[in-house]
Structure 1
Amino acid sequence: MVALPPAELQPAAQVDAPPGLDNLRSRRHLFVGRASELDLLDAALDDQAGAVVQAVHGLGGIGKSTLAAHWAATRAHGCAPVRWIEADSRAGVQQGLADLATALQPALASALPVEKLAERALQWLATHTGWLLILDNVNDPADIATLTDGLTTGRLLITSRLATTWHHATNLVRLDVLGPDESLDLLTRIATSAGPRDLDGTADLCAELGHLPLAIEQAAAYLVENQLTTPTPRAYLDLIAQHPADMYRDAVVGTAPERTIARIWHLTLDRITALHRPAADLLRTLAWYAPDHIPTTLLNDLADPPARNKAIGLLTAYSMISRDPGTGTVAIHRLVQALARTADPQDPHRQPHDIARARDHATQQLVRALPDDETPKSWPAWRALVPHVDALIDHALPETDTDTTADLVHRVGGFLRNQGAGPRVITYAQRALSAYQRVLGTNHLVTLNARIRLAYAYQAAGDLDKAIALFEQTLVDRLAAKDTPSPDAPGDRTNLAASYEWAGDHLRRAMALHAYANGGAGHLEQAVRLHERILATRQQELGDSHPATLASRSNLADAYRASGDAQRAASLDQQTLAHCLREVGEDHPLTTLIRHKLAGIHTPWP
């Protein structure tokens, strides 16, 4: 046993802190923005009664440690000593306290074990004021309970990815991403640290990285190190698009491997998965949706309600997602999404089969969530889901589409068409047709129907040549498949008779388009007759109030107007407007279109 000088044996309360005890971590990173967060940390200076406990929480890579170090080094908090403790484990906390004890009394280092040194530090903290401990990267509040529950003096500043466990904190600072101007400033300052360079694409790169500080620093450091091969931020964007797994995972020389976004979130998911594996499955599913306003109804079939709720709670607690109780939606950072849907065989959380399963699950959830009708009362539900369908088809490769994907984009494309969405309708119709052709075959009736939907989309966009070609080719292919029952035929009519009727309706549409395109009295009279037949057919099969029938009435009015019978056209439009107001409502695009026509503003309805 080591004998201690008498001075080292005095009670902790009688030990004064010598100068130079601070061990604040090096502030290597540039600091931008965060004025409001710094002010929040300052605000606790006004409350000096008892211990002051503050917690800064947020997503891994958001800059919590950087904020804490900058505040402690630059603000007038008046605390001494300032001690930094790596608090990601119970052992780390204990070692940090032991280091404080030996810093106060160096002779204790060889006389007491770590446990006793930590106890000595706690005794000193409890009997002194004015000190500041920064407990960095706390993963479990239990690891720091002896500090948060047992001390009544001094100041604790906690940084953690945990968002929901700091009820005892004097104030809680939620750290979000940088603003666009701030992230632009950060990337520019690092990227040009070695001299001037071409900054083409800087704003686009910051947006792609979701203004996440660590990702901005990682990208900027890569640009500095690889100036010859990656001369601009736009070149870095191209690398992310072509090699996302490598770019998210690899660090530049001089950067610790764990200081990349892939590694940081890997460690978080290790912990989450150990607690509840379905949470990782949920995160991979969320990766395929739009980042904001994700309805929790899309998560209903993830697991039984308790397991689903636990998964949502864990991801929220670790700042991987955020919840908006007022709207019943969740949000997720776009870079977390990008990583979660990028396969990497080296990462157990991003195995290709798990990512493919999550993509298919996200698709199925969207199909189940689609409303059963397109009446105005269902429009809010449709509109809430469309951004998430947009995101899915944007991120999923067409060759991975299944029949479920095809059904999804086919139905949503139909809704967008009836909403007058223009070019997006063509995108959806093309995607649905491509998927059906690959999954079901070129001449399957469902594929042919998808081709007709694309023809209507071209017609609505004014591309009559493409519309007519598709209508006519589909007629040929449809008649070639005449022995197959038509799922679109009314009632129980099938086979040849139904095939000819189905094809005839679309042939009449093609001929009507020819008439409009070519002009001339004969063609226009033919168009009027064809539209009259189309309207009669739809009235018989669908009823006089069906939206498709109303659209046919509008098209017939257009044919009357084109042939010179403006009075008859206006009369039919007036009748159709009354039907629309009664059946589909004032806000329906067809209602608006007919009103425009009656006001002399003509836009053809598909």
Structure 2
Amino acid sequence: MMARNQPIESFAIEEISHELQLLGWSTVSGINPSGWVPDILVTDGNGALLCIEVKVGKSSLHSNVLSVLRHAQMDIATAWPGRSVVALLTMNPISERMQSALSSTGIMFLRFDSQEEINGVTRELIRMIESGTQGNLQAAEPVQSLMNQVAFALERNEWEKAGALYEHILQDQIKIFGSDHPTVLETKYRIAELLARGGKIPEALNALQKLVNDLIKVLGPDNLNTLRARQHHAILLVQSGDLDSALQSISAILTDQERVLGVEHPDTLASRAYIANIYGAQGRLDDAVVLLEQTRADFIRTLGEDHLGILTISRNLADAYRSLGREDEAINLYQKSLTDSVRVLGEHHPSTLVSRHKLAAAYVSAGRINEAIDLYQQNLAERTRVLGEYHPDTLVSRHNLAAAYVSAGRINEAIDLYQQNLAERTRVLGEYHPDTLVSRHNLAAAYVSAGRINEAINLYQQNLADSIRVLGENHPDTLTNRHNLAYAYESVGRVDEAINLYQQSLADSIRVLGESDPGVLASRHNLAYAYESVGRVDEAINLYQQNLADSIRVLGENHPDTLTNRHNLAYAYESVGRVDEAINLYQQNLAARLLVLGEDHPDTLTGRHNLAGVYRSTGRAEEAIDLYQQNLAGTVRMLGEDNSSTIARRHSLAYAYQSAGRVNEAIALYRQTLNDCIRVLGEHHPLTMTVRNNLAMARKAH
């Protein structure tokens, strides 16, 4: 608590609190940032948090006020998941230097000259927050107005506007303090940071490099702020895609941090974690895991289990486990991360939402779709309540839930959510914003899953044209959009057009991304599949073989993508009669999926189904039946009796019974399957008609 001028300040606090209550704001408790207890802490019920410090006196404000509020502002930004505003309301005189320093913080600052003005200033503050304007203060208080404009721009994520305002503030600060003052350097850092947030990475890199040079000159190369600016520069190199330069830079910084700060300083440990993340981005996943495990252990030993850095490193390590196909280890660590985040930060903290999201995503990969949906629904409800229906993070949560619905076969629910997201992003961001293109792509993919292919094609065509115009021919998202349009063409039998796009996409992907990039593997796979669909099987097999070899080399024997590539090659071998080679690959895949993914993972079920199918076609009927029975039991456990996949696998078992001469069992199972088809899928669904025909044939044979 800051020093008080009683009882006048108490009266001012009471008056402001009463006015806020009349304006619909309610008191919040339990948030004490940086040891500071705000005079007033209120929320509007729509996700906005307002923290007010009130100062009443005749002496000039001390710089300590600014220091406390600045640290509190940073704490609140990480502890409160919605909008947060820190405001200073004061009668005290404030020097020009203090105003200039305050202007670089984004803290709102309003003065009142008498007790009679308190209610009016409070109403003006709320009006400014709710409308995002500066009201009547601009002409009378130009410096104060500029500071508040920055606060609004930051609160609304208007990075470019905030950066332009900071440029004005910077010029004023240079006149007052000189170009080498720490306050000026802090403002330069904020400008560079805003460039990065606005996606202007090259400009941000240039600004940060100039700042680093200034910091070395003013504060020295070993100053903590210098080291942190260098670290931020290295992180931006990662975002720019220059991983080699980033690794070289952060390694040099780590050496300096170990010398200056020590091997156990949080910044030193953070740099080690950044190096591990770069290893992961380079495909050096085993190296990443080793370094992350070591760094996590050192963090826990040095700073304790509850340090916020532990949560981030734990999630990154779990991400690496998941990329290596070590699903169980990933899920265990995600679960611990979520539990720790709830305990340390609370249910509503942004870090808790991230942990819940990552655990849900791992559940999806492991085939535990219903558990994933529960977590995604929690996240969406929480973000809608705190941030509002249209906040960018709410849109991300809605997308995640929609994707889980797709995985669960709940396509119509997914389409509803995707349509909401596309409409909102188009309205807020515009038709050509990259996030709008992503939403359009997601809706198109859901249309494909629902069989609404022509609607999907229209969206994919629009996305490809917009992506070329906005992002350029060689942007990874443009490559993805071309690939998706090709897939949609293929789905409606426009195979020649699909092959042309796949060929172009593969050539561009190799040129832009390199031979070993996962996007190249995906493009090569889809071209191979298209070749296969038009009978160009030998060409398809060549591509599948190349993909499998590259996948083993880059990702490892048991990576999920390697298993997919091995399956595709096996299927192609089977289609040209190379059955022994196909069985060998199917058996390898099933063993690997059981080991890595578990008994009931969707990919394990698919692998078992395919091996059963080739057993049945080669006369090994009893072996096929055993696998089909295992698969049906697993599908019922994971998806329930009435899921379309369950019904399809029951039909496969009935057909295997029929092929093995076990006609009575086949007829009984066909009857059950037909009733389920009619009830769940409808009289005229293709599977319903197939089951009805097979039942008639079995009865006739009987």
TM-score, reference length from structure 1: 0.32
State the structure with more CA Rg: 1
Q: Comparing both structures, which one devotes a greater share of its residues to helix?
A: 2
TM-score, reference length from structure 2: 0.29
